[in-house]
Amino acid sequence: MISVRKKLLYEEAKKLRQSGKSYSEIKKETGVSRSTLSSWFAKAEWSKSIGAKLTEKYKIINASRLVKINKIKGAKTELKHDDYRLGARNEYQGLKQNRLFNAGISIYWGEGDKSGQGRVAVVNSDPGMMQVMVNFYRKILNVPEEKLRAALFLYKDINEAEALKFWSEKLRITKGRFIKTQFLPSKSTLTKSKVTYGMCNIYFCSTEMSIKIDEWIRLMIDDMRV
């Protein structure tokens, strides 16, 4: 009785497989496990051919699904970015009379990272400029201290310990939040005399703030356009 039932299941499963069904689909219709179906049909050339066709079919379906998912994600991301820009426009009216805001935006316009990768960063050798920028980060952008990072770019004949002490004290950023120093080939004495303590990069990561700064720069340009 059992062998007859198994034979009937085999014949039913075979018809379904020959019609182009996957093992998962056959299992749903017959209750036969995937491992049993594989033992029945995996070595048959005609079943291998069907399996190959199904693989290509699912590749196309999955690729199509991935495109749709990415489009949805992209649309959601763009909506979020639009919200950031709207927030920047609303905040601009209350900020544009603030001297620190104007100084920070102006410096960022000239010296800031505009890669659009969600990184807010300024590199310069002028300690006064960098003090303004770190105050802009803290007081205007309200960046938490633990998110602030710094990095030094030094010529090889600049003392790293002295430079690190100098920038740490000037910017009030603890030495532990400075990442590994990058050393540059030495240039002329004239150039080096202008950068006694090298160049410092102060940065943090925030897509929202990166987008808002870009929008504030655009609004400032519009205000000053002739």
List, for residues 146-161, the tens digit of each pLDDT value.
999 999 999 988 999 9
Task: Give the single-character DSSP code of 185.
Answer: -
- What are the tens digits of pLDDT across the range 139-193? 999 999 999 999 999 998 899 999 999 999 999 999 999 999 999 886 655 455 5
If pLDDT is split at 50, 70 and 90, which confidence band does 226 have?
A: low
Residue found under tokens 């009379």: 97
pTM: 0.67
**Residue appearing with tokens 């602030």:** 148
**pLDDT tens-digit readout, 38-74:** 888 888 888 888 888 888 888 888 887 888 878 778 7
pLDDT at position 28, please? 85
What residues does each domain of the chain span? 2-64, 84-224
Distance of alpha carbon 45 from the chain centroid: 46
Looking at mean pLDDT, say which of 2-6, 36-40, 61-65, 212-216 comes out highest: 212-216
Relative orientation angle of helices 99-111 and 207-224, to the nearest 10 degrees:
100
In the chain, alpha helices (H): 2-18, 23-30, 34-41, 45-95, 99-111, 127-135, 160-171, 189-194, 207-224
Q: Quick count: other Cβ atoms within 10 Å of Cβ 124?
A: 17
State how far the Cα of 214 lies from the Cα of 150, in Å rounded to an integer.
Answer: 21
What pLDDT is stored for residue 156 in this prediction? 87
